[in-house]
A = this chain, B = another copy of it.
Amino acid sequence: MYRIGIDLGGTNIAVGIVNDEHKIVVKKTTPTLAKRPPEEIVADMARVCLEACAELNVNIKDIANIGIASPGIANPVNGCVEYANNLPFLRFPIVQLLADGLGIDRSVIKIANDANAAAWGEAVAGAAKGSANSIMVTLGTGVGGGIIINNKILVGFNSAAGEIGHIVIEQDGAPCGCGRRGCWEAYSSATALIRMTKEAVEECKKTGRYTSMLKAERISGRTACDAMRAGDEVGTEVYNKYVKYLATGITNLVNIFQPEVISLGGGVSNEGQSLIDAITPLVRAEQYGGDVVALTQLRIATLGNDAGIIGAAALE
């Protein structure tokens, strides 16, 4: 039995046909061309689904489930994208239109926010497989995530829940793209790590303090991590500062949710197990109630960019 997951991004539409073992057996992409009318985007989603089916020689009517991972506020009840920041969707009935485009019943098609779909992917087939309660945190341009409670995605009463990047962890702190100040995203995204690195390098330029990062042609999210590993003192300070903020946000999630697993995805998670090893003792020292009960496990997400497709395909 096959399922389809559609990861609808601001740049590309990625369609995967997924088998019973949650493996992608066919994957096809097409540009989103985000500025065109949304109906055209849906028409291309349908076209790529049919092309993928043709390649596998299956009929679209034999696909058990089609899931859409969409940016913004995806309403699983009415099948609409209520709003998306980077796509021209406003209360847009994407599920019905895709069903019409494919000539199938709309009950086959499910929808979730893309970060939630990725978290669901990690829950069914990735780092949190086997756990009914898990959270995936994506450390990329922003801090996103999805929360799984008793094997269901937390969406709230209005489908907009799960904005874990927009928990203020520093009152009146660094400005966040959402309009607040001091959000976790403003301290734990790759963007924030780059900002902290640049600030430290500028400070070194001013004070004459040495850091190997002065030689970096371009400062990325890896610059401070690489410098730290090479023994650079300033790089180590930046990394430790970043890790402390990251641990603060992770501990907040533990105290609120007590999930069995928190997995980290996104660019910064490429640091791998060393990042987990750095934050774990900080979380253990600060989490509420100590170790009377079983402890949340911290892990690196395992599905990478396929998490959205795999999670969307597995939506229920």
Q: Which residue in B156, B168, B255, B256 is a CB contact (below 8 Å) of A259?
A: B156
Task: State the Cβ distance, A112 to closest chain B Cβ, in Å.
Answer: 14
Task: State the Cβ distance, A55 to closest chain B Cβ, in Å.
Answer: 38
Binding site of A, secondary structure by majority: helix, strand, loop or mixed? loop
* Known A258-B158, A286-B179; contact A168-B248, beta-carbon cutoff 8 A: yes
Stretch from A6-14, A159-167, A272-280 contacting the other chain: A159-167
Question: Are B258 and A156 interface neighbours, CB within 8 A?
Answer: yes
Stretch from A39-47, A103-111, A287-295 contacting the other chain: A287-295
Q: Which of A155-200 contact B (CB under 8 A)?
A: 155-164, 166-171, 173, 178-180, 187
Question: Are B259 and A293 interface neighbours, CB within 8 A?
Answer: no
Q: Which of A257-303 contact B (CB under 8 A)?
A: 257-260, 285-286, 288-289, 292-296
Question: Are B259 and A157 interface neighbours, CB within 8 A?
Answer: yes
Question: Are A160 and B293 interface neighbours, CB within 8 A?
Answer: yes
Question: Are A73 and B289 interface neighbours, CB within 8 A?
Answer: yes
Question: Are A167 and B256 interface neighbours, CB within 8 A?
Answer: yes
Q: Which residues of B contact A133 (CB under 8 A)?
A: 156-157
Instruction: Check: A204 CB closer than 8 A to any chain B CB.
Output: no
Q: Interface residue tally of chain A, by bracket?
A: 35 or more
Q: Which residues of B contact A157 (CB under 8 A)?
A: 131-133, 258-260, 294, 296
Q: Which residue in B131, B161, B180, B260 is a CB contact (below 8 Å) of A256?
A: B161
Q: Which residue of B lies closest to A285 (CB)?
A: B179
Stretch from A29-37, A119-127, A146-154, A222-230 contacting the other chain: A146-154
Which of A82, A166, A173, A187 lies at the interface centre, i.e. has the most chain B CB atoms within 10 A of its CB? A166
Q: Which residue in B251, B257, B294 is a CB contact (below 8 Å) of A154?
A: B257
Q: With A and B bound together, what is the CA distance between A42 and B168 in angstroms?
A: 42
Question: Are A180 and B289 interface neighbours, CB within 8 A?
Answer: no
Task: State the Cβ distance, A240 to closest chain B Cβ, in Å.
Answer: 13
